[in-house]
Amino acid sequence: MDPLKELEKYEEFLKIKPLYWDDEANEFVWLDTRLLPFKEVYRRTKDYRRVGVAIKDMEIRGAPAIGVSAAFGMALAALEVNTKDVAEYLDKLKEAKDYLASTRPTAFNLFWALDRVWNVIESNKDKGVEEIREAILREALTIYVEDIRNNIEMGRIGSKLIDDGDRILTHCNTGAVATAGFGTALGVIRYAWYEGKKIHVITTETRPVLQGARLNVWELTKEGIPFTLITDGMPGLVFKRGLADLAIVGADRIILTGHTANKIGTYMVALAAWDNEKPFYVAAPTSTIQATADPSSIVIEERNPDEVRKVMGQYPITLPDVNVYNPSFDVTPPKLITAIITEKGIAHPPYLKSLKRLLQQ
Ligand code: MRU
């Protein structure tokens, strides 16, 4: 069965195609999000190392998009390695897996997707190279389709928490371009809009990479969803003045306690919502949930200081060698999170119980 067949059902939800597999050319294709909102440029490759560079350099970013792309990276490696010797084939695939796993440390979906592909390799290792190759490609396509299905389902479930007229604050981009399509937190917003709810989005600009100012603005404009752009320092005032009814964000990694790693600044948005008694929701597929209860296991990526010194990688906004601290994510504690929306349902506190139950479904 062709996993892609299922996508025909979702056509109305897939107005933006951030990444896909070109079956005829055997190439992976993606939208270079670094150039948005000014240019829509697709890149393509047969080389898994190029996929790794695209993830590292954030041409592809957002936890689910990173995971799905890594799975396609494994499909490219499976096609590239030219041997009939299964042991040699597996060695080369392991090299590709380790390389792809080294690209970004926080997004759990990356490791989840690589493990899924690896499990398929393991369970086919008694067969020939050709069968293993086919199984890898099928698994990558399945992961891709599943991400789209899960996003739409999360949208349907999460939209129930959104009322007509709500003003929704969000941080970072969690839309179509952060996933295989449709989006997580922005998918919930999108779904509510498709249902006819008259919502208004307030998006932070999301320093230093500007996922809000560049990517949310691009996606929301394309959809015609009304929005206001604010700087990252404004959510406190926005909630205090009663200008936002709720916040919804995505996640790069959630652990069983509910501790949620997401784009730097998320924690402050959660504090602002909590201090003003407004709901703060996280929307993420279960592929973002790591089955551990130890918050110290969450690795926070630190990125190049030049991201802070310059805007868009080129316009200096300070002196060239100024001392910089550039962690890319922070961790929001569960006591600040009203609920976690997944494709399997909504988890409420205490998360240790509710998330465990969702994962077991
Ligand atoms: O550094 P990025 O742009 O990859 O960070 C992305 C985020 O923090 C998103 O909120 C998260 O991955 C959820 S994406 C659906």
For residue 12, what is the domain's CATH number? 1.20.120.420
Confidence band for 13, pLDDT divided at 50, 70 and 90: very high
Where does a domain end: 152, 181, 215? Answer: 152
Domain boundary among the residues 133, 152, 171 is at 152
- Say whether the peptide bond before residue 327 is cis (omega within 30 degrees of 0): no
Distance between Cα 58 and ligand 1 center (Å): 10
Q: Is the pLDDT of residue 70 over 80?
A: yes
User: In which domain, by residue range, is 24 found?
Assistant: 3-152
Give the domain CATH number at 321. Answer: 3.40.50.10470
Catalytic pick from 252, 306, 321, 330? 252
pLDDT for residue 223 is more than 90? yes
Same domain, 221 and 274: yes
Question: 92 falls in which pLDDT band (50, 70, 90)?
Answer: very high
- What does the pLDDT read at residue 35? 97
Using the structure block, give the residue that is written with the tokens 């067949």: 5
Please check whether residue 3 is in contact with residue 180, taking contact to mean a CB–CB distance below 8 angstroms.
no
By C-alpha distance, which of 299, 309, 218, 284 is closest to 34? Answer: 218
Kindly list the distances between the CA atom of residue 340 and the CA atoms of 251, 257, 283, in Å, as whole numbers in the listed order: 10, 11, 6
The answer, yes or no, to whether residue 348 has pLDDT greater than 90, is: yes
Q: Are 32 and 55 in contact (CB under 8 A)?
A: no
Q: Is 294 a catalytic residue?
A: no
Q: Are 175 and 85 contained in the same domain? A: no
Residue 239: pLDDT over 80: yes
Contact yes or no for 117/146 (Cβ under 8 A): no
**C-alpha of residue 102 to centroid of ligand 1, in Å:** 17
Same structural domain, 125 and 219: no
Number of domains in the chain: 2
Burial 174-187 (b: 16+ CB within 10 A, else e): bbbbbbbbbbbbbb
Distance 110 CA to ligand 1 centre (A): 12
Residue 26 has pLDDT above 90, yes or no: yes
Mean pLDDT of 223-235: 98
Strands 260-263, 253-255: pairing kind: antiparallel
How far apart are alpha carbons 183 and 145 in whole angstroms? 13
DSSP H helical segments within 224-286, as ranges? 235-240, 266-275
Listed in sequence order, the residues at least 6 apart from 284 whose beta carbon sits closer than 8 Å to its beta carbon are 63, 154, 184, 250, 251, 254, 260, 340, 341, 342
Ligand 1 atom closest to Cα of 262?
8
Mean pLDDT, the chain, rounded, equals 97
Best probe residue, ligand 1, of 60, 204, 252 (max atoms within 8 Å of C-beta): 252
What is the distance between the alpha carbons of residues 219 and 186, in angstroms, rounded to a whole number? 9
Does residue 1 register a pLDDT over 90? no
The per-residue pLDDT for 357 is 96
Q: How confident is the model at residue 143 (pLDDT cuts 50, 70, 90)?
A: very high
Whether residues 138 and 287 fall in one domain: no
Reported as a pLDDT band with limits 50, 70 and 90, residue 65 is very high
152, 180, 197 - which closes a domain = 152
Q: Which residue has the tokens 């805007």?
A: 311
pTM metric for this prediction: 0.98
User: Can you tell me the mean pLDDT for 105-123?
Assistant: 98
Whether 220 and 326 share a structural domain: yes
Looking at residue 230, its pLDDT comes to 98
